[in-house]
Structure 1
Amino acid sequence: MIRTATPADVPVLHTLIRELAEYEKALSEARATPDQLHEALFGPHPAAYAHIAQDDTTGTPVGFALWFLNFSTWRGVHGIYLEDLYVRPEARGGGHGKALLTELARICVQRGYGRLEWSVLNWNTPSIAFYESLGARPQEEWTVYRLTDEALTNLATQP
């Protein structure tokens, strides 16, 4: 079962995000606090949205998708950028990941959004195979660039 996250889900979302960071070998980089998540998802100007995957029998949260809107200047419409998709290891293979992506695809179609896109680590071959089985294709002509921490501050303070 997939449902929209509520403010009561912030603690479990925080836990799942940290589990994802550990899986991606980057736990030290996961610095978001529950308060920051609450503000981003449920504050006066939400910057992101989340869906929870629950075990069909117990109702226990087993995964999540956290996403935000982007915009294509070429298509002239919004799209969804999936920031994180995670399903706990013990629940993988149960259809939760596909159900989360299906829900986001439905939102795109219902709202007239032109894209659903995300990034995946090159070493994460199980996820790559899963995404490709759904019809997703890598955008090999693009390379992601990122400014953070000192480099971001240095650029921001340039005259």
Structure 2
Amino acid sequence: MQIVLNKMGTDVVAMQAIGRQIDLLAMLPMISLGLAVTTFTAQNFGARQYKRMLIGLKHAVIIDVIWGIVFAAILITFNKFFSGLFISHNETKIIHLAFEYYLVNGLFYWILAILFVVRAFIQGYGNSLVPTLAGMAELVMRAGVSVLSLVTVGLIGV
């Protein structure tokens, strides 16, 4: 994906560098909750508290989805503030590109939240093969979609 972005110029590379940092702010709570779900699920699986596992999964998904939606709304609303943490407000082209990045990624944070929690849940009850294969598929798809999007849709697709 970085090779594709590099071909689009320095403004796009700068935008992507800023966007990745902001993505980390969005994803760290989701990942942390996923880690908690793994432990919670494993403990309850060992205690044969299957109903409690499912209740925990439901609550974790709700919490993470709410976080994804709220963070996306804050990010899109205050996009110039977030970009301004990393770049001068005079860099209007990069700020606009970053806004598009936030908009596209932010709209899908809630899906990513579900992915993190469900993957952690599956790992927690002892199945590491499915999450590993899902992670590998995600990596391949990201690269493939990036390359195809560059040719068909352009930057928004990448």
**TM-score bin, normalised by smaller chain:** under 0.3
Higher relative contact order (CA 8 A, sep 6+): 2
Q: Greater Rg, structure 1 or structure 2? A: 2
Could you state the TM-score of these two structures normalised by the residue count of structure 1?
Answer: 0.25
**More helix as a share of residues:** 2
